[in-house]
Amino acid sequence: MERTLSIIKPDGVGHGLIGEVIRRFEKNGIKIIAMKMVHLSLDDARKFYAVHKERPFFNSLTAFMTSGPIVPMILEGENVIEKNRTLMGATNYKDAAEGTIRRNFATDIEKNIVHGSDAPETAAIEIKFFFNELEICERG
């Protein structure tokens, strides 16, 4: 059993897509075992995206991620890291497969609705960034 961190980004929340994203997870047999809504400070966003700090889009990305509330969730399931990435689609919505969240709803390479951890190590770090043990529900 694997866990991953999903985030509905400020554009997803702003466009009224919280329910749609969650529906896709549930329809695909992915369990949500933790969820909250938070508005990150710039400091928080810079920490969360520290791996990208040398990238040309870092300032723009952190400004975007602090532009409104976001919905971080922990997803659980077999192979859920890859499953979630498949449901999300490619980073650039123009390259994303038909029917994926990003292909259906993203408006820009940056404003791409959702985040998903890309490996078990990053999933563990990202989950800890948003949730403590008490906030995680063992749903059996």
Which position among 15, 110, 124, 125 is part of the footprint of ligand ATP (CB under 6 A)?
Answer: 110
Q: According to CB under 6 A, which residues from 67 to 106 bind ligand ATP?
A: 91
**Shortest distance (Å) from residue 116 CB to ligand ATP:** 5
Nearer to ligand ATP, 20 or 110 (CB): 110
Q: How many positions of this chain bind ligand ATP (CB under 6 A)?
A: 9
Query: What amino acid occupies position 49?
Result: Y
Q: Can you tell me which residue has the tokens 């985040």?
A: 115
Q: What share of the chain is helix, strand, coil (3-state, %, to 5)?
A: 45, 15, 40
CA distance 120 to 114: 18
**Shortest distance (Å) from residue 61 CB to ligand ATP:** 5
**Shortest distance (Å) from residue 120 CB to ligand ATP:** 15
Measuring CA to CA, which residue among 121, 103, 114 is closest to residue 3? 121
CB half-sphere exposure, 127, CA atoms < 13 A: 23
Contact residues: ligand ATP, CB under 6 A: 57, 61, 91, 109-110, 112, 115-116, 118
